[in-house]
């Protein structure tokens, strides 16, 4: 298996690397449930969270992941960074890299921001925490961990992703992950919110939500990304959107008993998901949040164990370090 130097997108990951991260994350779920939520694995490591776009789950879970593994964690947001004074992303990146962090986690409105920085900031590892409408790899790894908990294995399963596919980095990362991990994706959206030629990813397309439900093992609801919509007329009204593409109890009743409900958050209750569905027993939405901390611990461990994050040497210490680190975690 190739060592993980950065986590930029699902596109860059191989099947074995995804599997390895899932294996690392699984035992880490328990750490957050202990009375003392602390393990020494990342002691002496420095992690910088650089968030230029708002976030509750992703930013908090990266911060908790680093702190629970004893790393030093610094948070920088758009409002407190020098980009407000006109500094470029590259200069901000170089400045932070000069302070010798081991990992730089970045969320940005611009697609490709993490990839761009990764080219310049060696030896720090760069993690993409969401870049525009492009990719959100740690969300999808978290989803896979949650689905693995529900089913044992995702391969051969069908995940139906519903809503604003056009602007969703989560949907794009799932399309890439489905090819690596052998699951099937159905996409449901109004035509105005489906990207052109998305079927090239090998997914099935639906504009009728009811028709897509039978045979779905998971219904994955997406928020309409108002911040990325260029025009306000992608659908007639919120009420009509909910009627056609919202998940309510009637629709959930069309699904099999085993079908689970996911949402990456933040939810717009009454728009893409009805409140009773969001809070029902088949909803795994809070499991996704809980598992997000474990998956981000796994990612940080794998990166810091790769021998690159924070080491000036590019050789040696790669293979087996992540597993070794896992041994000392718990």
Interaction of residue 264 with ligand ASP, rule CB under 6 A: yes
Interaction of residue 123 with ligand ASP, rule CB under 6 A: no
Residues 161-180 that bind ligand ASP (CB under 6 A): 169-170
Q: How many residues bind ligand ASP (CB under 6 A)?
A: 8
Angle between helices 285-304 and 57-68 (to 10 degrees): 50
We find the least distance from the C-beta atom of residue 130 to ligand ASP, in angstroms, to be 4
- HEC string of 175-188 equals HHHHHHHCCEEEEE
**Secondary structure of residue 227 in the 3-state scheme:** helix
Question: Distances from the Cα of 131 to the Cαs of 37, 117, 192, 272, in angstroms?
Answer: 30, 12, 22, 22
Nearer Cβ to ligand ASP (265/310):
265
Q: Which two tokens stand for residue 152?
A: 């044992």
C-alpha 187, offset from chain centre: 18
Nearer Cβ to ligand ASP (292/305):
292
We find the least distance from the C-beta atom of residue 238 to ligand ASP, in angstroms, to be 16
Q: Is 187 left (phi over 0), alpha (psi -120 to 50) or beta?
A: beta
- Give Rg (Cα) of the chain: 20
We find the least distance from the C-beta atom of residue 34 to ligand ASP, in angstroms, to be 27
Query: One symbol per residue from 136 to 155: x for binding ligand ASP (CB under 6 A), - otherwise; what is it?
Result: x--x----------------
Interaction of residue 305 with ligand ASP, rule CB under 6 A: no
Interaction of residue 130 with ligand ASP, rule CB under 6 A: yes
Per CB under 6 A, residues contacting ligand ASP are 130, 136, 139, 169-170, 223, 264-265
């Amino acid at each position: 298996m190739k060592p993980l130097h950065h986590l930029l997108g699902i596109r860059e990951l191989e099947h074995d690397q995804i599997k390895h991260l899932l294996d690392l994350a699984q035992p880490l779920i328990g750490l957050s449930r202990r009375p003392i939520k602390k393990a020494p694995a990342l002691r002496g490591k420095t992690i910088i969270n650089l968030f230029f776009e708002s976030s509750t789950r992703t930013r908090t879970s990266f911060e908790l992941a680093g702190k629970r593994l004893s790393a030093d964690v610094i948070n920088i947001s758009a409002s407190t960074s020098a980009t407000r004074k006109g500094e470029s992303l590259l200069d901000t990146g170089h400045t932070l890299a000069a302070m010798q962090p081991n990992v730089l986690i970045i969320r940005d409105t611009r697609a490709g921001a993490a990839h761009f920085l990764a080219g310049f900031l060696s030896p720090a590892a760069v993690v993409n925490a969401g870049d525009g409408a492009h990719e959100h790899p740690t969300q999808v790894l978290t989803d896979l961990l949650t689905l693995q908990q529900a089913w044992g294995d995702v391969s051969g399963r069908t995940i139906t992703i519903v809503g604003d596919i056009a602007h969703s980095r989560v949907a794009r990362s799932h399309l890439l992950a489905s090819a690596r991990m052998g699951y099937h994706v159905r996409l449901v959206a109004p035509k105005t919110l489906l990207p052109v030629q998305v079927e090239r990813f090998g997914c099935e397309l639906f504009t009728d939500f009811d028709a897509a439900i039978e045979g779905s093992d998971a219904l994955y609801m997406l928020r309409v990304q108002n911040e990325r919509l260029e025009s306000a007329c992608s659908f007639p009204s919120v009420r009509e959107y909910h009627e056609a593409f919202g998940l309510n109890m009637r629709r959930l009743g069309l699904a099999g008993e085993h079908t689970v409900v996911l949402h990456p958050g933040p939810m717009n209750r009454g728009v893409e998901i009805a409140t009773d569905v969001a809070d029902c027993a088949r909803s795994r939405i809070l499991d996704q949040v809980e598992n997000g901390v474990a998956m981000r611990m796994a990612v940080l461990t794998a990166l810091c164990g790769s021998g690159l994050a924070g080491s000036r040497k590019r050789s040696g210490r790669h293979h087996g370090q992540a597993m070794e680190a896992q041994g000392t975690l718990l």
